[in-house]
Structure 1
Amino acid sequence: MAKIEVAQVADILRQNITEPAIMRRCIEQMNKVTEAAAVADEAKPPSQKKQFVILVSDPDGEMPKTELAGWVLQIPEDASPLSVQERVNKATFDFNASRRGRKLPAETIGEAIENVPAKNFKDVELWVKTKTPVLVLTTDNKLPKA
């Protein structure tokens, strides 16, 4: 539904309604409704900032104990996860061949994910969810017994 200013509605009412009492009641009702909506908008708490974390199942403890960083990427459901590296390479190659890429080419995977535009990734059916690296955590995939 289109939103319209109360002042504009009041002008329209003045032009079409000859009785000032009816017009005044209409405007007062509109002001009450808009005040209630404004109070409801102010009552909402600010949205909480979120971050991405990659949680990797490691029941055998094969992952290194050091902190790792990675990126969250999305590919089509029927595509192989092993094709991600190839897709990043292709998108980066296409970007580096462009005018902007020749000025500031991406030389590493990190630079590619941060600097290559989403259009290049979309062309190879790869969507970058995090442009900055996120922390990778490992878990033994077991819940504690209570």
Structure 2
Amino acid sequence: MPKIDVNKVAEILKKNELEPTLLRRVMDELRLAVQPDPGEEEKPPPIKKQFVILVSDPEQKLPKDDFVGWVLQIPEEDNVGTTPERVCRAAYDFNDTKKGSLLPVSTIGETLENVPAKHFKEYNTWVKTRTPVLVVRTDNQIPKEVVETEHF
């Protein structure tokens, strides 16, 4: 619902020639309704969140260095190996458009960041993170003893 200034409401009521006593009562009630409740505390700003891809790597085949990736969705029954091909097809479609001919995409990263969702939708692909996120490796095991770590 759109918000309206109390003074604007007063002007509208005056234009419609309301009785001054009724106008004063209505305006007093509106001013009271607009006041914040004294019991309400200001909430702290929300915590900014990020996506992280957690990859199980018990045989330690992945590289030790940090690397990035994107989070996408495809239909459950489809082969996940077709995901790169889907992204490439969306890039080809985009590059065939007027905007794509002016600013063509040439990498997977550029495609995921710049190509509109309608091009991915044709191939049943939904991009959840347009910017790359860090991929974190895990050996998929919970240690038996408690390990002292930094508090989050």
For the criterion TM > 0.5, the same-fold answer is: yes
Aligned ranges for residues 1-146 of structure 1 at < 5 Å? 3-11=3-11, 15=16, 17-18=18-19, 20=21, 22-36=22-36, 43-145=42-144, 146=146
Change (3 A) 1:134 1:28: same
Change (3 A) 1:8 1:81: same
**Residue type at the aligned position of 2:54:** L
Q: How far apart in 2 are the matches of 1:6 and 1:111?
A: 48
SS in 1 for 2:113: helix
Residue 121 (structure 1) shift: 1.3
Residue 13 (structure 1) shift: 5.1
Q: How far apart in 2 are the matches of 1:19 and 1:104?
A: 63
**Residue type at the aligned position of 1:29:** E
Q: How far apart in 1 are the matches of 2:103 and 2:17?
A: 63
Identity %: 50
SS in 2 for 1:138: strand
**Structure 2, unaligned stretches of length 5 or more?**
147-152
Residue 136 (structure 1) shift: 0.5
Residue 8 (structure 1) shift: 4.1
SS in 1 for 2:143: coil
Q: How far apart in 2 are the matches of 1:107 and 1:4?
A: 48
Q: How far apart in 2 are the matches of 1:135 and 1:117?
A: 23
- Give the structure-1-normalised TM-score: 0.79
**Residue type at the aligned position of 1:137:** V
* Structure in which a larger fraction of residues adopt helix: 1
**Residue type at the aligned position of 2:72:** L
**Structure 1, unaligned stretches of length 5 or more?**
none
Residue 55 (structure 1) shift: 0.6
Structure 1 partner of 2:149: none
Number of residue pairs matched by the alignment: 143
Q: How far apart in 1 are the matches of 2:97 and 2:88?
A: 14
**Residue type at the aligned position of 2:24:** R
